[in-house]
Amino acid sequence: MDENIVIETSGLTKSYGKTLAVDHISFEVKRGEIFGFLGPNGAGKTTTIRMLTGLSRPTEGSARVLRFSIKSEIAQAKKHIGVVPELSNLYDELSAFDNLLFAAQLYGVPRRHRRERADKLLKMFGLYERRNQSFGTLSRGMKRALTIAAALVHSPELLFLDEPTVGLDVVAARSLRSLISSLRQQGTTIFLTTHYLEEADLLCDRIALIVKGRIVQTDSPNRLKARVEENPPTEISFTDAAPSLVEDLLQMLPGLQVTALDHRVRIYGGVVADVLETVIQLAKKKGIGIESVTSLRPSLEDAFVKITGLAPAVMAMEKGGRR
């Protein structure tokens, strides 16, 4: 196994009775990258993490995590991996500090380094002032941050993050994302599952799209988006509405498609420079100003919809069918 490959799976499969939760998936995660597992709820993301971290045995196939087989050498692998489950499951009764101390004891951090390491993480995650507060009394965002801190207490090479921002408010989610980015900068490889498209787009170096237990595509966010970039539209926003604007544009730009909404028009196809020249001429003729011009790039959502054939609403579904 290549030194730079930290996870390698081959035909990894998990079934529960007749239900196939993960269906012969094969992928590699490179050292130092944030690898995203993107898919709707029930796609098999958590089941994959459970297999890779030794919580569940694969029905078929094989995988190596940090060169250790997950079937026969998972105990060795566990020393070098950190796992943040979807639920923040530290101990409500213990203080923030004691929770980190217990994690350090469990992972065999040398006695002389435990307190120092716990304090360092509490400072890094902005929780030092709350070190003596019990976990149960912390806010949801703080609980999430402390759960991540507990997974880092033994300085793992590889961190598994299962839906890290689920249930967090916008501010807490943003701060957590910046924290995840900073972990990558410090050299930690991150395996992240999410059903939030923007999150995957913002954080991940590469993304595997997983639907119904199967990986349908693996690539960088930009390359995935490039797959739907055949005809990016140009959107022009005018200062005022003008009569027969769309008709005039259609006449002046034969062969192109033009749609309008309020003061904005979208022009599909053509060379952007030519399109702009025509639009400026027409605006002058009609005596209206141009507020903004935007070349609309496809989003990861567009790519996801095109590649998987699923509606974006499916991704917005939380567990239990909530939106």
Q: Which residues bind other proteins (CB under 8 A)?
A: 53-57, 75-76, 78-79, 83, 85, 87, 89-94, 98, 102, 105-108
Encoded tokens for 154: 């033994």
Q: What is the DSSP letter of 299?
A: P
Residue 315 Cβ vs other proteins, minimum distance, rounded to whole Å:
24
For residue 106, the minimal CB distance to other proteins (Å) is 4
Of 85 and 141, which has the nearer Cβ to other proteins? Answer: 85
Least Å from the CB of residue 29 to other proteins: 18
Q: Which H or E run contains 264?
A: strand 264-268
> CB 150 → other proteins: shortest distance, Å?
8
Nearer to other proteins, 11 or 108 (CB): 108
Least distance in Å: CB of 5 to other proteins?
22
Rounded Cα–Cα distance for residues 90 and 221 (Å): 33
The residue among 78 and 206 lying less far from other proteins, judged by its C-beta, is 78
Would you say 78 or 225 has its CB closer to other proteins?
A: 78
Q: Which is nearer to other proteins, 105 or 139 (CB)?
A: 105
C-beta closer to other proteins: residue 79 or 223: 79
SS3 260: strand
Tell me whether residue 94 or residue 293 sits nearer to other proteins (CB atom): 94
Q: What single string gives the DSSP state of each residue in 128-169?
A: GGGTTSBGGGS-HHHHHHHHHHHHTTT--SEEEEESTTTT--
Residue (93 or 129) nearer to other proteins, CB: 93
Distance CA 291, CA 182 (A): 37
How many of the other CB atoms lie within 10 Å of CB of 27? Answer: 18
Residue pair 48/56 in contact (Cβ under 8 Å)? The answer is no
Alpha-carbon span 260 to 235, nearest angstrom? 9
Asked if 161 and 144 touch (Cβ cutoff 8 Å), the reply is: no
Tokens of 65: 């995590």
CB of 118 to other proteins, least distance (A): 14
Q: How far is the CB of 93 from other proteins (least distance, A)?
A: 5
Q: Which residues have C-beta within 8 Å of that of residue 276, sequence separation ≥ 6?
A: 234, 293
Dump the DSSP string for 203-246.
H-SEEEEEETTEEEEEE-HHHHHHTT-SS--EEEEESS--TTHH
Cβ(207)–Cβ(36) under 8 Å?
yes
Encoded tokens for 177:
């994302």
Residue 92: count of CB within 10 angstroms of its CB: 12
Cα 212 to Cα 86: distance, rounded to the nearest angstrom: 19
Nearer to other proteins, 85 or 213 (CB): 85
Q: How far is the CB of 165 from other proteins (least distance, A)?
A: 18
Q: Least Å distance between CB 84 and other proteins?
A: 10
